[in-house]
Structure 1
């Protein structure tokens, strides 16, 4: 008898990028967009806040696009600060590669699991396979699981 588990993200991904103000390496996207039109060209950015100092950075979504070539539904989602669009764009490799310094690195979002909170950091121990839990194998590779965690 197999069980199907639903694992859903609880927050947006963390963008790994250096802050020019405090030299932190992490930004959290807050799901808000900035849209700017200059004559017939459109620019759109996803705004992200530094996790240490709160400074804002912009991740380019659209650059110098002709206004007529942008779908009206996309423009409406950008104006409405759609969180689903923000989550989709943070997983898009083209957007990540464009603004994360060429590496395209983001951390995975926090996941909600039917087994409770994620494992404790800094503890080492044996790994017990838990079917359907997204963090179990990756945490084992990093060596962050203890006997209390599984």
Structure 2
């Protein structure tokens, strides 16, 4: 069995309309949080910047949350602009739904596939793992990883999962030998 991995190379862009220039792309840049205290309640925002006009906007992470409801390590992460916490919040589907944005993964990921797979005994079983929820069509990913055309993928690949449906979780497939 050959292991493949889909890994993030950078944080994805956000598809979010800018209120100034009406552009559809924003970025988290270096990834910064803003924490505001109002008595014993905290507001936490993730700051994003428009790629076209550089306007900064805020995505609500927590709104009017009691200070005691925060894990101390998480609160320290917000204050220190922890990059792991930035990525975790940005990839959270609830945050995306609440703030009405989608992620644009174009150019933000890579496929780590070992070469020399043709030396394996046929048929070859491949296991694909995703480090982050990158939406990609398995058919396209397999074609890129093996250097096959899409028609050759249809002929030589056997899989339990539909290859034409976009996925963001792991799957496996079998490469059959040439007839």
For the criterion TM > 0.5, the same-fold answer is yes
Aligned to 1:119: none
Distance 1:149 1:26 in 2: 33
Q: 1:131 offset after TM fit, Å?
A: 8.0
3-state SS in 2 of match to 1:42:
strand
Is 1:77 the counterpart of 2:74 in the alignment? no
Distance 1:135 1:52 in 2: 25
Aligned equivalent of 2:105, options 104, 108, 111: 108
| Structure 1: gaps (5+ residues) | 116-129
Q: 1:25 offset after TM fit, Å?
A: 0.6
TM-score by length of structure 1 reads 0.71
Structure-2 change in CA distance of 1:39 and 1:84 (3 Å): same
Distance 1:82 1:66 in 2: 21
Q: 1:68 offset after TM fit, Å?
A: 1.3
Deviation by residue 1:51-108 (Cα, 9 ceiling, x = unmatched): 11111111100100011111101101101111111111112121111112xxx52223
Contact 1:13–1:87 (Cα < 8 Å) also in 2:
no
3-state SS in 2 of match to 1:65:
strand
**Bigger-Rg structure (1/2):** 2
| Structure 2: gaps (5+ residues) | 114-125, 150-179
Q: How many residues align?
A: 127
Is 1:20 the counterpart of 2:19 in the alignment? yes
Distance 2:62 2:102 in 1: 19
CA RMSD of the aligned region, Å? 2.9
Q: 1:137 offset after TM fit, Å?
A: 3.2
Q: 1:132 offset after TM fit, Å?
A: 4.7
TM-score by length of structure 2 reads 0.61
Which of structure 1's runs of 4+ aligned residues deviate more than 3 A? 130-140
Contact 2:7–2:112 (Cα < 8 Å) also in 1:
no
